[in-house]
Structure 1
Amino acid sequence: MSFEANTLISWPAFTQARNELGGGFGRILGYFREDGVKSVAVIEAAMRALNAAAMVIPAHTLKGEARQFGADPLADLAEVIEMIARDCVEMQDTPDEALEHIVRLRPLFEETLTLLEREANPIVARKPVIGGGFGRRAVPTGFGEE
């Protein structure tokens, strides 16, 4: 599943979260990564075990944390899984209906996380230093240069 960056993240919501969290933004994003990895794994394991009750809390957690960063498609998918799981618990049914959504969950989480982390920690493109630069030996660029 491939999405455009503009459809995976609401950048105004991301910017608002970054501004509100200030210096703690990177730490909170790290928690999102850790919690998200765990939540996705628990949801997948619960699906394999046909245990709807075990899906509710991790789906709910993922939904809330994703919304905090403006990751609305991920939050929406987690909400669908949560609602299916809650209905299955109430009806004492297996969560078969959740399977197609859970299959999409990990790729969407990973792609979303990649975008969030890229925006939070942009890599600065560096130009090669001509003449070697400080602490570097200059590499000859033409015949007869040393």
Structure 2
Amino acid sequence: MSFQNVDLVDWTEFDSVREELGSNFARILRYYSEDGIKSVEAIEEAIRNKVSAALIVPAHTLKGESLQFGAIRVSMIAEKIEMTARHLVEIQQTPEELVPDAAELRPALKETMERLEEATNPLVQRHHGIDERHAANQKFGRL
């Protein structure tokens, strides 16, 4: 199953966490980006090494952290990898069937981070389907 038709970000969830974290938001978003890359690398390595058990923790971590920021597509891919890996461990199988999902994960994380950066950087011109309320600060000071 491809996740291309799933929204990248739930902007309501993103706005909520941004408000809750306040001044800590930018730092924690940076941690999410760094941790996300590490999780993707661990998942890719586990796939290359054909070790189903090694997929579970990084996929679980990425799923949870992504949900916190509203990164829906990344979270869904990570959840599929985690749940399938758990099943594969139970039946003692290697994770070849997860190669397409793992291949989707890095580009999804990259695109998600680009969108989140756009939404948080006041110097970036808003576009890419972000609704008008996210672009409101772009009109400030304009006649």
TM superposition score category, shorter chain reference: 0.7 to 0.9
Percent of pairs with identical residues? 48
Q: What is the match of residue 12 of structure 1?
A: 12
Runs (5+) with no aligned partner, structure 2: 126-143
Count how many residue pairs are aligned between Structure 1 and Structure 2. 124
Runs (5+) with no aligned partner, structure 1: 126-146
How far 1:7 sits from its partner (Å)? 2.1
Q: What is the match of residue 80 of structure 1?
A: 80
Structure number with the higher helix fraction is 2
When the two chains are superposed, the root-mean-square deviation of aligned CA atoms in Å is: 2.0
Higher Rg = 1
Q: What is the match of residue 95 of structure 1?
A: 95
State TM-score, norm by structure 2.
0.81
- Residue 51 of structure 1 aligns with an amino acid whose one-letter code is V
Q: What is the match of residue 71 of structure 1?
A: 71
State TM-score, norm by structure 1.
0.79
Q: 1:85 to 1:28 in 2, by over 3 A?
A: same
Cα deviations across residues 6-34 of structure 1 (Å, max 9, x unaligned)?
A: 92111110000000111110011011011
Give the Cα–Cα distance (whole angstroms) in 2 for the partners of residues 21 and 53 of structure 1: 33
- Residue 39 of structure 2 aligns with an amino acid whose one-letter code is S
Q: What is the match of residue 134 of structure 1?
A: none
Give the Cα–Cα distance (whole angstroms) in 2 for the partners of residues 13 and 87 of structure 1: 30
Query: Does 2:108 correspond to 1:108?
Result: yes
Q: What is the match of residue 35 of structure 1?
A: 35
Aligned 1:103-142 pairs, distance under 5 A: 103-123=103-123
- Residue 43 of structure 1 aligns with an amino acid whose one-letter code is I
How far 1:122 sits from its partner (Å)? 2.9
Q: What is the match of residue 47 of structure 1?
A: 47
